Chains A and B, each alone.
Chain A
Amino acid sequence: MSETSAWVILIAAIFTNNILLTNFLGMCSFIACSSQIKTSLGLGTAVVFVMIMTTIINYIIYHFILVPFHLGHLQFIVFIAVIAGFVQFVEMFVERFSPKLYFALGIFLPLITVNCAILGASLFMIIRNYSFMQSIGFGMGAGIGWALAIVLLAGLRQKMRYSHVPKCFEGVAIAMIVTGVLAMTFMGFAGMVSIQ
Chain B
Amino acid sequence: MADKQLACAVCQPKGICGGKGLLTLKEGAWGKNPLAIQVLGICSALAVTNRLENSLVMGAALIFVCVGSNLIVSLLRKHTPHRIRMVAEVAIIATFVILFDQFLKAFYWDMSKQLGPYVGLIITNCIVMGRAEAFALQNPPVLSMVDGLANGIGYAVVLAIIGFFRELLGTGEILGHKLPVFSEWYTPNQLMILAPGAFFALGIVIAIFNVIKGPAPEENK
Which residues in A have some Cβ–Cβ distance to B below 8 Å?
Answer: 21-28, 31, 73-77, 80-81, 84, 114-116, 119-120, 123-124, 127, 166-177, 179-181, 183-184, 187
Contact = CB atoms under 8 A, between A and B. Distances in A.
17 contacts: A24-B42, A24-B47, A28-B41, A76-B94, A76-B120, A77-B94, A80-B94, A114-B124, A114-B126, A123-B117, A127-B116, A172-B39, A173-B206, A177-B200, A180-B198, A184-B196, A187-B194
B198 A24 contact: yes
Nearest to B91: A77
A180 B199 CA distance: 5
B101 interface: yes
Contact of A76 (B101, B129, B195): B101
A112 to B, nearest CB: 10
B217 interface: yes
Given A114-B129, A119-B123, A181 B196 contact: yes
B138 interface: no
B98 A173 contact: no
A166 B87 CA distance: 42
Given A176-B203, A179-B199, A180-B196, A115 B124 contact: yes
Task: Say which size band chain B's interface belongs to.
Answer: 35 or more
A127 B43 CA distance: 18
Describe B's contact surface by its main secondary structure.
helix
Contact of A25 (B43, B101, B206, B210): B43
B42 A27 contact: yes
Nearest to A166: B207
Nearest to B37: A172
A171 B216 contact: yes
Interface string B134-177: 00000000000000000000000000000000000000000000
A52 B138 CA distance: 37
Given A28-B42, A119-B120, A174-B203, A168 B211 contact: yes
A27 B43 contact: yes
A145 to B, nearest CB: 13
A25 B202 contact: no
Contact of B98 (A76, A171, A179, A180): A76
A81 B94 CA distance: 10
Contacts of B116: 123, 127
B217 A73 contact: no
Given A76-B97, A114-B129, A173 B195 contact: no
8 closest cross-chain pairs (CB), A and B = A180-B199, A176-B203, A123-B117, A24-B46, A116-B124, A177-B203, A77-B94, A173-B207
B125 A116 contact: yes
Interface in B81-95: 87, 90-91, 94-95
B40 interface: yes
Contacts of A26: 43
A185 to B, nearest CB: 9
Nearest to B126: A28
Which of A28, A176, A179 has its CB near the most chain B CB atoms (within 10 A)? Answer: A176
A170 B210 CA distance: 9
A167 B206 CA distance: 12
B121 interface: yes
Interface in B20-77: 39-44, 46-47
Given A24-B47, A28-B40, A84-B87, A169 B203 contact: yes
B102 interface: yes
A183 B196 contact: yes
Given A119-B120, A177-B203, 17 more contacts: A21-B195, A24-B47, A28-B126, A31-B42, A77-B91, A119-B123, A120-B117, A123-B117, A123-B120, A127-B116, A169-B210, A170-B210, A173-B203, A173-B206, A176-B206, A181-B196, A183-B199
